[in-house]
Amino acid sequence: MDFTDLRKHWSDSDKKEIPERESMAHPNMAKIARLTTEMRNDGWRDSMYCPKGGEVFWAWEPTMGLPYRCIYQGEWPNGTYWAMVHGDMWSCHPVLFKAIADEKQA
C-alpha cells in the first residue's frame, strides 16, 4: 500500500466517521464546550498542569457540575486526582483546575 492508497483510505473513512460522530452529538455538548472555553478565559487550565506536590486546588469536570477542592497524589503521570467534598475523598478525573487564591478556602 502506498501513500496514494492511504490517502484514499483516510478520505473514505472520514466520509463514514464524520456523519456517525455528528449523529451522536447532543445539544448540551455545545454548551459544555462553551462553558469550558469561558472557564479557560477566566484563568482555569487543563488539569494535567495542576500542582503535583499535595497542594489543594479547585477542579472541575462536566459530570460534577460545580467546582470542588482536589489534590493530586502520586508521581505524574501515574498518580490519582482526589476530590474532597462533604468531608470525604474519592478518585476523580477533572478536566480543568484553578489555584486556590485564599488559603482559608484550602
| Every domain of the chain and the residues it spans | 1-42, 43-106
Give the residues across from 60 on adjacent strands.
96
Q: Residue 103: what residue type?
A: E
The full DSSP string for 44-84 is -EEGGGS--SS--EEEE-TTT-S-EEEEEESSTTT-EEEEE
What fold is seen in the domain 43-106? SH3 type barrels. (2.30.30)
For the chain, percent of residues with pLDDT exceeding 70: 94
Sign of CA dihedral 62, 67, 69, 73: positive
Report the pLDDT averaged over residues 66-87: 96
d(CA 53, CA 36): 25
Please give the model's pTM, rounded to 2 decimal places.
0.74
